[in-house]
């Protein structure tokens, strides 16, 4: 179920789901609103073209993680001390998040990160249970050139996209391999991540 990282994600495995079939992602990708980063979605582009071969595996992950809350012994273990939820995909429902939280509980010595735009799901689930200490929850800001510095409730950091010539001094996600940076994978670093928009 876990995927081996490639490109900037080399060395960090990720547990991915299928972006093109995610109704939330479909809505954001086709949004008529201005400055929505999802219109530039690398995952939607890749999985509909040269990474089509990944879709069956990611679709199976989507179904498994969002259909029911599984007994913890049946959840897929992360093969590393650092893991990412969703280098492809987005939360589907509250069941999906419940399973991810339980994966974190299974491996307390592993640091997990989850990027999501779905504050509603996070708030619903974390109203009745605690966030594992080894999970870094990153609010993925949907709007380009609007930096969110106030971290939402339950989250640890914000991730923001800006145009290349904007907020140059604040850009701190610079395209290097994540394993050599770990800005997003460490509680003690900045809580505001800023990256320039990539075109796909």
pLDDT digit string, tens, across residues 43-94 = 999 999 999 999 999 999 999 999 999 999 999 999 999 999 999 999 999 9
Distant-in-sequence contacts of 65-74, Cβ < 8 A, 24+ apart: 65/15, 65/17, 65/92, 65/95, 65/96, 65/99, 65/100, 66/17, 66/92, 66/93, 66/95, 66/96, 66/99, 67/95, 68/95, 69/95, 69/98, 69/99, 69/102, 70/99, 70/102, 72/102, 72/105, 72/106
- pLDDT at residue 174, as a whole number: 84
Residue pair 121/32 in contact (Cβ under 8 Å)? The answer is no
Stretches where the chain sits below pLDDT 70 are: 199-200
Q: Which two tokens stand for residue 63?
A: 């179904």
pLDDT of residue 199: 63
Residue that the structure tokens 């109203």 belong to? 127
Q: What's the confidence (pLDDT) of residue 180?
A: 92
- The set of residues, in sequence order, having a beta carbon less than 8 Å from that of 13 and lying 6+ positions away, is 2, 3, 4, 5, 78, 79, 80, 83, 84
Per the CB < 8 A criterion, the answer to whether 91 and 61 are in contact is no
Give the global pTM: 0.94
The pLDDT, as a whole number, for residue 200 is 47
The answer to whether residues 65 and 92 touch, using CB atoms and an 8 Å cutoff, is yes
């Amino acid at each position: 179920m876990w995927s081996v990282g490639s490109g900037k994600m080399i060395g960090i495995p990720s547990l991915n789901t299928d972006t093109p079939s995610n109704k939330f992602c479909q809505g954001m990708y086709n949004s008529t609103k201005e400055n929505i980063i999802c219109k530039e979605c690398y995952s939607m582009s890749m999985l509909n073209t040269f990474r089509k071969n990944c879709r069956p595996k990611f679709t199976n992950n989507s179904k498994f993680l969002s259909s029911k809350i599984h007994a913890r012994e049946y959840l897929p273990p992360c093969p590393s001390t650092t893991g990412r939820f969703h280098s492809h995909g987005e939360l589907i429902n509250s069941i999906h998040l419940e399973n991810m939280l339980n994966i974190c509980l299974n491996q307390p010595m592993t640091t997990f990160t989850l990027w999501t735009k779905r504050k509603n799901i996070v708030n619903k689930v974390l109203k009745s249970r605690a966030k594992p200490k080894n999970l870094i929850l990153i609010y993925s800001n949907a709007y380009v050139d609007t930096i969110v510095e106030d971290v939402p409730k339950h989250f640890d950091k914000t991730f923001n996209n800006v145009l290349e010539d904007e907020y140059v001094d604040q850009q701190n996600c610079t395209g290097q391999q994540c394993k050599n940076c770990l800005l997003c994978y460490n509680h003690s670093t900045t809580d505001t991540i800023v990256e320039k928009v990539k075109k796909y």
